[in-house]
Amino acid sequence: MLARSPNASQQFGESWRLKAAWTWLDATYRTNVCDDASCNGNRIPGIARNMGYASFGYQPEQGWYAGSDIRYMSDIMANDENTAKAPSWTVVGLTTGYKWSYGRMDMDLFGRIDNLFDREYVGSVIVNESNGRYYEPAPGRNYGIGLNLAWRFE
């Protein structure tokens, strides 16, 4: 198994941030582990060969912030023989929120939209599922809101 995972983070001006990460993982069988066929050299199922992430946003220490991100996953084999695979996918997300402090309390009220374009894709695979039902759908467009509270001990 061979893996590389470069990543980068860059700040522009006082509050603009760009982040990026990429993982390449060459996970293949080096011996035959299949009962009825040779899978030596096949990709190990359930593992994507490439994964990528990038985000860009305005993120000041206090006040309003906003950003977007994009995630990529390459195709994933669903069985040892590599005869079934889930296709690659790319999804986009948006986030916004407001950060403020009150005394020793830091607060962050935020909202998020995942899968902005409501793309249908395989979210996970059931490896070597005996009835051929390998694929589980990912959620469509979804929303979230939250509040983070942090107490500073000084």
Look at residue 36 and tell me whether its pLDDT is greater than 90. Answer: no
Reported pTM: 0.86
- 74 neighbors 82 (Cβ within 8 angstroms): no
Q: What is the pLDDT of residue 54?
A: 98
40-71 pLDDT tens trace: 889 999 999 999 999 999 999 999 999 999 99
79-127 pLDDT tens trace: 999 999 999 999 999 999 999 999 999 999 999 999 999 999 999 999 9
Per-domain boundaries in the chain: 2-151
Whole-number Å distance between alpha carbons of 103 and 99: 13
CB neighbour class for 104 (10 Å; exposed up to 12, middle 13-18, buried from 19): exposed
